Amino acid sequence: MLEYIKQYKKELLENVLPFWMKHSKDNLYGGFFTSLSRDGSVYDTDKFMWLQGRQIWTLSAMYDKVSPNPEWLLMAKQGASFILKHGRDEQGNWYFAFNRQGQPLVQPYNIFSDCFAAMGLGALYRIEPQDEYAQVARDTFMNILKRRHNTKGIYNKSVAGTRDLKGFSLPMILSNLSLEIEHLLDKRVVDGLIDEVIYEVMEVFFQEDSGLIVEHVFMDGSFSDSFDGRLVNPGHILEAMWFMMDLAVRRKDADLLNRCVDIALRAADYGWDEKYGGLFYFMDIKNKPPQQLEWDQKLWWVHLEALVCMAKAWQLTGRPDCKDWFVKLHDYTFQRFSDPAYGEWFGYLNRQGEVLLPVKGGKWKGCFHVPRALYQIYTTLELAKRNPVTV
């Protein structure tokens, strides 16, 4: 276990964070470049709200929890200046994408832009308590709650009334976000959201017969036999299960913990590619062909969130099958995704496990899943080593 702790901590501090510190800063217009080639060179200068907010969060959280590195603080603050200056429309909704200069390219159709803006500013406020960070994070959170039942607003292309579905992503992110910024929120709001999300994830989206969680269900919680209703994202289930395990620890709820571990083991088993190894990206719960052409690809975040999940499950329960999964995932993941030659991790492998796109970042990959997961993994294993927790 000591070897893993050393390896994941070293990877975070020597291979991953330095990559973003060196390559992602836009000295001219502020904010972060995320379209970075294998060697860190910028191949496109567009900026994406998800990744601006996420990088502010990562740098702030690392400063808060790992080491008060003043360069991380400075970098987080320059990201915050960029999004506070350019990020919102007149109603306070966050745009999705910008050109290098910060002019908006894509309208606020995607509520996760708002979620990651609030998450970043909330984390920054913890280490740099400027009123504006707290105020905007809180206002954004309230706006998310207001928009949550029609998150796409006027950009929603679904016809109401034919097949009204709800997605698994929003309750997930709301629970995570409310914990991330609970220092800015009324305790009753946070507790209420946590109750709700545990119910939604563990009862509504969870499918008793298969033991899995689907991405969309009807508004009343019933199963929809459609492309959206049948969609399973194993990485998403595994990420959700470690959020839920954190909540189980917070509530000292052993029953919830054990259910999470069972679902996680089932999802890993279900999502594993027996032929080439690794976890599939998208699957169909009825074994029908998914619509997503990228269904069989092996994505960085899927494997990292799975590792976090199995590390926590192992630490919290001591179950050997969780340890076995951690080791199996580690052996597959680390050697294929990590790039010691240039730093950071590849994001996209084909089914065979070969690099599909030799980028370190783009529209969807930035400074977030890799450092967050590395941090979660080594601290979880440290905890396991020092003091095994049983809920």
Query: At closest approach, how far in Å is the CB of 105 from a copy of itself?
Result: 5
Contact window for a copy of itself (CB under 8 A) among 244-252, 310-318, 324-332, 345-353: 345-353
153 binds a copy of itself (CB under 8 A): no
Contact window for a copy of itself (CB under 8 A) among 2-10, 251-259, 347-355, 375-383: 347-355
CA distance 111 to 131: 23
358 binds a copy of itself (CB under 8 A): yes
135 binds a copy of itself (CB under 8 A): no
Query: At closest approach, how far in Å is the CB of 304 from a copy of itself?
Result: 18
273 binds a copy of itself (CB under 8 A): no
Pick one of 7, 69, 78, 107: the residue that binds a copy of itself (CB under 8 A).
107
Pick one of 78, 211, 363, 383: the residue that binds a copy of itself (CB under 8 A).
363
In a 13 Å sphere around the CA of 311, the CA atoms on its Cβ side amount to 27
340 binds a copy of itself (CB under 8 A): no
210 binds a copy of itself (CB under 8 A): no
Comparing CA positions, the residue from 120, 151, 3, 107 lying closest to residue 52 is: 120
Query: At closest approach, how far in Å is the CB of 269 from a copy of itself?
Result: 23
CB 216 within 8 A of CB 162: no
Q: Rg for the chain (alpha carbons), in Å? A: 20
Q: Which residue has the tokens 């330095």?
A: 18
Pick one of 2, 27, 28, 103: the residue that binds a copy of itself (CB under 8 A).
103
297 binds a copy of itself (CB under 8 A): yes
Pick one of 106, 142, 254, 391: the residue that binds a copy of itself (CB under 8 A).
106
CA distance 76 to 192: 30
227 binds a copy of itself (CB under 8 A): yes
Alpha-carbon distances, residue 7 vs 22, 29, 145, 300, 330 (angstroms) = 21, 36, 40, 17, 11
Pick one of 7, 78, 84, 104: the residue that binds a copy of itself (CB under 8 A).
104
CA distance 174 to 196: 10
Give whichever of 8 and 96 is closer to a copy of itself, judged by the CB atom: 96
Indicate left, alpha or beta for 66 from its phi (over 0: left) and psi (-120 to 50: alpha): alpha
163 binds a copy of itself (CB under 8 A): yes
Query: At closest approach, how far in Å is the CB of 201 from a copy of itself?
Result: 26
Residue 379 CB partners (closer than 8 Å, separation 6+) = 65
Query: At closest approach, how far in Å is the CB of 299 from a copy of itself?
Result: 9
Tell me the angle at which helices 234-251 and 169-180 cross, rounded to the nearest 10 degrees.
40
150 binds a copy of itself (CB under 8 A): no
Tokens, residue 234: 């194993």
Q: Give strand pairing partners of 231.
A: 284
CB 316 within 8 A of CB 254: no
CB 47 within 8 A of CB 106: no
19 binds a copy of itself (CB under 8 A): no
Angle at CA 114, nearest 5°, toward 112 and 117? 110
Comparing CA positions, the residue from 374, 381, 328 lying closest to residue 11 is: 374
Pick one of 81, 150, 210, 226: the residue that binds a copy of itself (CB under 8 A).
226
258 binds a copy of itself (CB under 8 A): no
Q: Give strand pairing partners of 213.
A: 206
Give whichever of 48 and 242 is closer to a copy of itself, judged by the CB atom: 48
Residues in touch with a copy of itself (CB under 8 A) = 37, 43-44, 46, 95-96, 99, 103-107, 109, 154-155, 157-159, 161-163, 226-227, 288-291, 293-297, 348, 350-351, 356-359, 362-363
